Chains A and B, each alone.
Chain A
Amino acid sequence: MGRSLKLKLCMSVFVVTAVWILLWGGSLQAPAISEKQAVASAQRILASGLDAELPSNPFADWFRQMVGPQAGVNWQLSECGERPSMLVAQGRSVPACAEVNALLPDGRKVVVMIEVGTFEKGIAGNPSFSHAAIEQEGELYPVRRLRDLPQGLSGPAALKDRYSVKFVALNANLRWLSQGENGGKALHGASADETAPPPPAARPTGTPGARPTGTPAAQSTGTPGARPTGTPAAQPTGTPAAQPTPAPQETRKISEGVVRGNAIVKVEPLYPASAKKMQAAGSVQVQVTISEEGRVIEATTVSGHPLLRNSAVDAARKWVFKRTMLNGVPVRVQSTLTFVFTLTQ
């Protein structure tokens, strides 16, 4: 092999290595998605591109028209869909959404999520509608299709057929006194911009007393699985007389994943000293019955080391959950909580 051939070979190896490093290095350093571009792409896309039944206006214009000029509108890059940690654990990319939320003068809130790509790979393909909801008086009303949004916003009656999800304590705002009573630590009132009272939650249209409390209309038809599509003509009037009474104390089983997702207060069990001494470890399964209000009313162990069981039950009793709603009515549910006790050095 001549010298020049060797040189050429070395050069080739060097070039190939350099190119490979460049490519590999590039793939290592994941391109962070640009918020500006992501939001701009969602704002620019035609509303008809997100839902064929909507007009051919840019989505941002359509949305502004929908919520009105008095609404406070925010755009930002946000996470879509399921919890990202689950996706990352499965080696999948975290989907990114351009989120637009609007606070209406009557106190309602609208959130629309437009999927634009992933946090790792950046913007990919055309933006598409992901999900949306209307928040009203502490309840979330899902909007399954973008075309349903105008109707949902037109008044409470339009939301009556929706499943609603009540969330606890989120509406609470603490008011701090400028001086604690009896010598408590001095606390200062928040600035006007931060804590001034929220706008009045007026009931938008003239349907007094017809606040959407769940799905009385849907239930009265006796077909809980069938969700009406939101056409007012297809709905009963929703008068108080039409509201059915919830089924008496029926307990439904739900998976641990769902029940953990609904937890408001999670309490980890104490590792009993006696169990540690005995090197007792492993998981303890506790079957819990959760009341309509989200409280654990019964907790019993299904499996696990005897020395760990009491501690697991004590912890399970302290968990607090969001109400589980079925057809808009809170129901009692049963599920399992698994606590893992691991001995550390």
Chain B
Amino acid sequence: MRNGASPDLRKLEILAMLVARKRKSKTQRAQRALSALLLIALFILAFDVNAYWQIPAAGKTGSGQLHGGIEINPEGIKAAVIRVSDPEQGAGAEVIYTEVFNTALTRNQNGKVTPEAIKAASQAILRFYTHMRRQYQVPPQQIYVISSSDLDADNLEELANEVRNSSGASITFLSIESEVRLSIIGTIPRRYREGTTWFDNRSQSAVIDIGSDKTKAGYQQFRQPLLGDPYYDFVAFEISRGTTSFTDEVNRAAGEDSGISKFAVSAKALSESSIKAALRSELKKKPGLAYRKKIYLNGAIVRAMATLLHPEDRQSFITLTVDDINTFYQRAVNSPQLLLNPSLSRIRNDEARKEVERELEAVRSAFTPKSLVAGAEILKAVASECNFQEEGKKILYARFSNMSSISSYLLLRAGDGPQP
């Protein structure tokens, strides 16, 4: 866009210079200033019109087609733009832009999202929408707004109306099944290699996402119905406890003013009666999850654990262990300040250190010592019920997993071609 507009700008500048040389009187100078102002105004107008209405190649830049997505979560709004080189196959996709805007969209006591939160969310959506249009020239019909199944309130219609009024976009509310499917596609690589041999990855993996309100899990299962064709089923699994909701539950039981030790004792007791019981009930219906060899752990509490325990590990996939979970729990209960301020002495690279510091700051602002304990308790419960301690089990944290749903949704849309 900038390249397209710069020759016009140069012409305007030359014109302005010629005007300046010919007119030297005060009146002339005033006229010149006025002309320049007018030209700048015209230029801005031209730029805006260009950005909004002139779509040179229907959202194509470089060699690919662009698709933009905005995801609404209880914790905030995420945005992503992907470039798909071959929409027919849904292959060759690159994530070229991501951004997260943190804003709480949790329900109040009446089960509703507050009007202020709705306003803030719709403004953030409008900002992302405009950015995608201006910066990337993503066609409006290729910008999608989706809402996580975690977003559960009685007045979602108000949010949908506000977003429609401000940006013209309509929200697609995802079901848990769809979301888990998107998470699997976006997080679990299809294959992996050992030596020179390639193995199928998705058939032996599962995703477990510990969110703020809920914990979701899913895996891909090959099925052959008695009648009909074989298919890949995406088994979804959900318990209504996440880091924030469990923190609230424990606070109610232990008292808001309770110390961290009392909170931890209550959390342990409640974990047994609510989290583990719910997990067992779900596992009875979906027993395959406990036997998956690779578990991709997602969620803010997992990101916090990986950042606080392994700040130096900058890989996309960070291997975690049951010992990590136990260490995380112990430190959260016994020395939360030490946990929140890990040593960065092993990070020599300045850039990497700055990035880690930013990540640590994000963790500190998102978690209180109590929510760390509550989250660690959920992690422990998941680890014990899903047999993480079993020999040969691999636990991974995918660094980009927070953007996996929106990115794979875009991929799905791009692969399916234009919308009806």
Contact = CB atoms under 8 A, between A and B. Distances in A.
A62 interface: no
Contact of A72 (B93, B178, B200, B225): B200
Given A185-B99, A190-B189, A295-B420, A99 B222 contact: yes
Of all A-B residue pairs in the complex, the 8 with the closest CB atoms, nearest first, are: A72-B199, A131-B224, A266-B175, A184-B97, A119-B287, A190-B316, A79-B288, A172-B90
Contacts of A167: 231-232
Given A103-B191, A170-B232, A172-B90, A84 B186 contact: no
A199 interface: yes
Interface string B141-175: 00000000100001111101000000000001111
A99 B203 contact: yes
Interface residues of B, number: 84
Contacts of A172: 90-91, 93, 185, 408, 411-412, 415
Contact of A193 (B193, B204, B229, B231): B193
Interface of A: 35, 70-74, 76-79, 81-85, 88, 94, 96, 99, 101-103, 105, 109, 111, 113, 119, 130-131, 133, 140, 142, 163, 165, 167-177, 180-182, 184-196, 198-199, 258, 261-268, 270-273, 276, 291, 293-295, 297, 315, 318, 320, 322, 325, 344
B198 A198 contact: yes
Contacts of A85: 285-286
Given A79-B287, A191-B315, A74 B158 contact: no
30 contacts: A72-B198, A81-B225, A83-B223, A94-B285, A105-B198, A113-B224, A140-B230, A165-B231, A171-B89, A173-B93, A173-B190, A174-B95, A185-B98, A187-B95, A187-B316, A187-B399, A187-B403, A189-B316, A191-B317, A193-B192, A193-B194, A264-B178, A267-B174, A270-B173, A271-B154, A273-B157, A293-B416, A293-B417, A295-B416, A325-B229
B48 interface: no
A177 B94 contact: yes
Contacts of B222: 78, 99, 101, 111, 113, 133
A198 B229 contact: no
A266 to B, nearest CB: 4
A295 to B, nearest CB: 5
Interface of B: 82, 89-100, 111, 135, 149, 154-158, 160, 172-175, 177-178, 181, 185-186, 189-194, 196-204, 221-226, 228-233, 235, 284-288, 291-293, 314-317, 355, 399-400, 403, 407-408, 411-412, 415-417, 419-420
A85 B228 CA distance: 19
Given A163-B229, A172-B412, A174-B407, 14 more contacts: A76-B203, A78-B221, A79-B287, A82-B226, A83-B235, A84-B287, A94-B285, A172-B408, A175-B93, A177-B94, A185-B99, A187-B399, A261-B231, A322-B231
Contacts of A188: 314-316, 399-400
Contacts of A79: 221, 223, 235, 286-288
B203 A81 contact: no
Contacts of B82: 174
Contacts of B416: 168-169, 293-295, 320
Between B82, B93, B193, B230, the greatest number of chain A beta carbons within 10 A of the residue's beta carbon is seen for B230
A173 B407 CA distance: 10
Contacts of B192: 193-194
Between A35, A189, A291, the greatest number of chain B beta carbons within 10 A of the residue's beta carbon is seen for A35
A280 B189 CA distance: 45
Contacts of A113: 222, 224
Given A88-B284, A131-B224, A133-B222, A101 B97 contact: no
Between B98, B156, B403, the greatest number of chain A beta carbons within 10 A of the residue's beta carbon is seen for B98
A142 B229 contact: yes
A72 B195 CA distance: 10
A185 B99 CA distance: 6
A276 B202 CA distance: 42
Contacts of A262: 231
A186 B288 CA distance: 35
Contacts of A187: 95, 98, 316, 399-400, 403
Nearest to B291: A77
A273 B155 contact: yes
Contacts of A318: 172
A198 B193 CA distance: 9
Contacts of A192: 193
A65 B356 CA distance: 49
Nearest to B135: A182
Given A175-B93, A177-B94, A184-B98, A84 B185 contact: no
B223 to A, nearest CB: 7
A168 B315 contact: no
Contacts of B172: 265, 267, 318
A130 B157 contact: no
Contacts of B407: 174
Contacts of A83: 223, 233, 235
Nearest to A119: B287
Nearest to B159: A270
